[in-house]
């Protein structure tokens, strides 16, 4: 599905995390995202994995779950324009749950270094 840069900018502009950014700033971050396609039932990451990326759902649905005391508990169902993974990045902790696709999904992934670099730059340039 190759999502072009204008479509990425439009998509990111609708995410609360990027609210208020100028188009130039959105473009700078939009090109850093890697596009990932997952089939239904695919695991994007598992509980206790290293937190090394932030994800935004372009299309499809995912299930977030956590296993505790041998019991699997659903935490949330996320869909297009939802995002996940930012908590583990900012807290520098391992993944607190598992994310599995419910149906085919296209997800934009931003690696830790780009995520941190972007937000550090945004904080520095904020008035």
* pTM score, whole prediction: 0.88
Q: What is the pLDDT of residue 124?
A: 40
Q: What is the pLDDT of residue 76?
A: 96
Interhelix angle for 112-125 vs 23-30, to 10°? 160
DSSP string, 44-60: EE-TT----EEEEEEES
Tokens of 76: 């949330």
Length in residues, the chain: 127
Walk me through the domains of the chain, giving residue ranges and CATH numbers: 5-125 (2.60.120.10)
Residues 27-67 pLDDT 10s: 999 999 999 999 999 999 999 999 999 999 999 999 999 99
Of the chain, the percentage scoring pLDDT greater than 90 comes to: 72
């Amino acid at each position: 599905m190759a999502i072009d840069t204008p479509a990425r900018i439009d998509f990111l502009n609708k995410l609360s995390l990027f609210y208020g950014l100028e188009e130039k700033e959105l473009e700078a971050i939009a090109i850093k995202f890697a596009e990932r396609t997952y089939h239904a039932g695919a695991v994007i990451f598992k509980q206790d994995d290293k937190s090394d990326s932030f994800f935004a759902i372009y299309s499809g649905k995912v299930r977030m779950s956590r296993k505790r005391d041998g019991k699997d508990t659903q935490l949330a169902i996320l869909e297009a324009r939802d995002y996940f993974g930012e908590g583990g990045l900012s807290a520098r902790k391992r993944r607190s749950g598992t994310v599995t696709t419910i149906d085919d999904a296209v997800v934009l992934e931003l690696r830790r270094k780009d995520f941190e670099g972007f937000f550090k730059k945004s904080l520095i340039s904020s008035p």
